Structure formats: structure tokens, C-alpha cells
Amino acid sequence: MRRVRGPHPRVVLAVLLPAFAVGCAKPLFPDNAPRTQFEKFDAMRSGAAPKEEPDVFGTPQPALRARLAPKTQGN
């Protein structure tokens, strides 16, 4: 009975090494870019909602109230 073996370790290394080297490249989506089309629309129309606000101790927390509050219509 013949034993089936996996790929040679050098082959595995040759395939995985470039994959790890690509991880050091520039990020695909920068932090300052809008994450959704809705954020882009809000930024163009009414200004972007703050992403973080300090709590009572000064620690930055997600600004959920400001981001989830309904937008006011400026007529």
C-alpha cells in the first residue's frame, strides 16, 4: 500500500512567504476613507458625525448617540 504525502515543505514555504510579505504593504482601505456610502452621503450633506467622544473620565468611547440620532432637517 502506497502512502500519500502532502506537498514538500519548500513548496509550502515558497507559496506562503509572498503572502506574508504582502501583509506589510499599505492598507487597502485607509482609516480616513468613508466605510459605507451612507457615511459619504452624510459627510457631503450634513457633515460627518463624530466617531468618538470622551466619557466622564476622558476615555474615548464610540459616539453612538451622535451617530444614531436622527438627522435634523435645516429648512
pLDDT, greater one: 2 or 45: 45
Q: What is the pLDDT of residue 74?
A: 54
Q: How far is CA 41 from CA 35, 46, 49, 55, in A?
A: 11, 8, 11, 28
Res 60: pLDDT: 92
pLDDT band of residue 66 (cuts 50, 70, 90) is: confident
Render pLDDT for 12-50 as a digit per residue (tens, 0 to 9).
777 776 666 666 677 777 777 777 777 788 778 777 777
